[in-house]
Amino acid sequence: MNDSQNLLNLKEVSQLLKINPEVLRRWLRNGKLKGIKVGSDWRVYYSDLRIFLNGPLPVSSEPNAPQTLDNAPKMCVRFPKWLEFSGLPLYFNETYGPETWPIFKKLIELDFEAGKPVNRKIKLNIPEISEMVGYDQDIVDNLIRALSQSGYITITKEKSASYFSIVTPIRTPKIILDIEYSKGGVKGAPESALDNACLRRFLEI
């Protein structure tokens, strides 16, 4: 049985959503959350929970193309908190200008949104990034080139498209070992915290 077919009980769903089980039962009864009745209780498929959180899977332009949970649109952005306390925002501001950190942060968010693409290459869409950060396309293009020349990202071209990859481990003025756990770092963190993707993703070689 693959992950999307796993049945979760109400306790598991409650822990994942941080919602009272009685509220979940009400949602299940009125159809807000899709589930199946098992005896006097409810079960929820993992795939249905993902759709509830992220929205329905996109319709493919290819009629027979398979759809997966990874195709679901992401409704929230993710960003590792420790990078904000690493000294990198100030370094970028002083070295390249105040627009650089918001642009780099957006690239990090896009990397998280992509999940685990092949070779961590993500399509580089300058007009879209420009819209998301609110800067002119020329500014975005020039600063992305500066980040590439400085070794923070790599840019590759395939056919008519450009792709970027975050270079890891990310070079930061302050290392994650010296950043407090309350600020997303490792200092004072419990051992279990080291399994968190926000800690590991941009430290991997």
Grouped pLDDT means (10 residues each) for the chain, 205 residues: 65 79 84 82 82 54 47 72 95 97 96 73 94 96 97 92 92 91 88 72 68
Pull the structure tokens for residue 58. Answer: 């996109």
The pLDDT, as a whole number, for residue 205 is 53
Residues 11 and 81 in one domain: no
pLDDT on residue 14: 81
Q: Which of 71, 100, 127 is the last residue of a domain?
A: 71
For 101-119, what is each residue's pLDDT tens digit? 999 999 999 988 887 655 6
CATH code of the domain in which 42 resides = 1.10.1660
Q: Note whether 106 and 171 are same-domain residues.
A: yes
The number of residues in the chain equals 205
pLDDT, position 116: 65
pLDDT at 76: 75
- The range of the structural domain enclosing residue 159 comes to 77-205
Shared domain check, 67 and 89 = no
Max distance between CA atoms of the chain, in angstroms, equals 64
Where a domain ends, among 71, 90, 119? 71
94 and 179 share one domain: yes
Same domain, 132 and 153: yes
What is the pTM (predicted TM-score) of this model?
A: 0.64
Q: How many domains does the chain have?
A: 2
pLDDT for res 39: 76
DSSP per residue over 136-183, as a string? -HHHHHHHHHHHHHTTSEEEEEETTEEEEEE-SSPP-SS-GGGSBGGG
